Amino acid sequence: MARRGRPKAGEEAAHRDAVISAAFDELVAKGYEKTTMLDIAKRAGASKETLYNWFTNKEGLFSALIKYQADTTITRIKVALQDNTDPRTTLIDFAHNLLRILLSEPSLSLNRAAMTSVDLAAILLKHGRHATGSIVENYLERLAEQGYLKISSPESAFQLLYGLILQDWQIRVLLGETPPSEDLLSQHAERAVDLFFSLAKG
């Protein structure tokens, strides 16, 4: 990975990804404060100066991480919601994905990092919670129009669904509790969606 001199054509994107990936690894291993720009550079086979050229500063680099993770999250959620089977299965799939993502180490580390900087927090809120929120709200609104749900507003419906799915798992795991197993997660997703329907089906 360590190349010296001007990069060959077409190599830039891969190199940038290597930096992002290295930053994730360091972040998960050490946390935001103890992750240094030098460590990231070394792991990526890049130089510190390059990191600063590309991302301006440490916050800039980590805001790029947030956006990167948010993009893959959004993609996965959109895929889950495009399932054309019944709404129950679709929502269970969504719930399962949401739990898996939000309880994954990269997401947790990113959330912890965001707590230490108002700017990072704002970016995470915008690209994370609010971005997925509006997508799911659209979906719920469609369900309501089709008569599957009776809801007062898409926002409050999504908040309810979110609460039923996540309960206090995220905050507990953020504080160091070990996350539930895959099996428990999928059981929980199913139960949460069923509760949601029993509350929102009118």
Partner DNA sequence: GTTAAACCGTACTAGTAGGTACGTTTAAAG
Partner DNA sequence: CTTTAAACGTACCTACTAGTACGGTTTAAC
Binding site for its own copies (CB under 8 A): 31-33, 111-112, 114-116, 118, 121-122, 124-125, 129, 159-160, 162-168, 170-172, 174-177, 195, 198-199
Burial category of 166 from C-beta neighbours within 10 Å (exposed 0-12, middle 13-18, buried 19 and up): middle
- Crossing angle between the packed helical segments 12-30 and 58-82, to the nearest 10 degrees: 100
Give me the residue label for tokens 């580390």.
Answer: 109
State the binding string over 49-68 for DNA (x if CB under 7 A, else -): xx-xxx--xxx---------
CB of 35 to DNA, least distance (A): 6
Per CB under 7 A, does 48 bind DNA? yes
Per CB under 7 A, does 47 bind DNA? yes
Residues contacting residue 52 through CB under 8 Å, at least 6 positions apart: 37
Of 18 and 160, nearer to its own copies (C-beta) is 160
Judged by phi (left if over 0) then psi (alpha if -120 to 50, else beta), residue 167 lies in left
Of 35 and 111, nearer to DNA (C-beta) is 35
Of 73 and 111, nearer to its own copies (C-beta) is 111
Per CB under 7 A, does 186 bind DNA? no
Long-range interactions of 30-39: CB distance < 8 A, separation 24+: 31/109, 31/112, 31/113, 32/62, 32/109, 32/112, 32/113, 32/116, 33/116, 37/61
Per CB under 7 A, does 34 bind DNA? yes
The contact set with DNA (CB under 7 A) reads 2-9, 12, 15, 34-38, 45-50, 52-54, 57-59
